[in-house]
Amino acid sequence: MAENSSALTKPKGNWIPAVLLAWIIPGGGHFFLKRRARGAVLAVCVAAVFLLGLMMRGALFEPQGGDLLTTVIYYGGFIGDLLAGIFYFLTVWLGYSQPDAAGHVHDYGTKFLVAAGLLNLLAMVDAFEIATGKKD
């Protein structure tokens, strides 16, 4: 039993490059781990969700303080946007700045931008599990 618990606490292999690459370039960690088909599917899905959010003119979150609920929503949204990796950085670098506007289409767009980051987070976890040998 002691051998099994030590195997769970010490990850096998070098997982850090795979996870960092999976964050910066969606699907990149899977390409690094020679899982090209899965990496291509993830890259297309994250890109599609992020681009749909931009086409709906969704707003990117910026960290904002205030009461507890406002802080959680804005910091959580910012982290969700940031998890989209290169898509987020390119969007900010190219000057995309959509104000938060009333309307259901803009609201859905904002949610799509965060959802792309959360989908990429799942891809990062998947890359970690493949790199550590917990998953094939």
Q: One-letter amino acid identity for 116?
A: A
pLDDT tens-digit map of 64-109: 888 999 999 999 999 999 999 999 999 999 998 877 778 889 999 9
Domain membership of residue 74 (yes or no) is yes
Domain membership of residue 7 (yes or no) is no
Give the pTM.
0.85
- For the chain, the domain total comes to 1
Domain membership of residue 5 (yes or no) is no
Domain membership of residue 82 (yes or no) is yes
Range of the domain at 68: 12-131
Does residue 11 carry a pLDDT above 80? Answer: no
Domain membership of residue 4 (yes or no) is no
C-alpha closest to that of 110 among 57, 68, 66, 64: 57
Does residue 44 carry a pLDDT above 80? Answer: yes
Domain membership of residue 3 (yes or no) is no
Q: What is the pLDDT of residue 1?
A: 46
Domain membership of residue 88 (yes or no) is yes
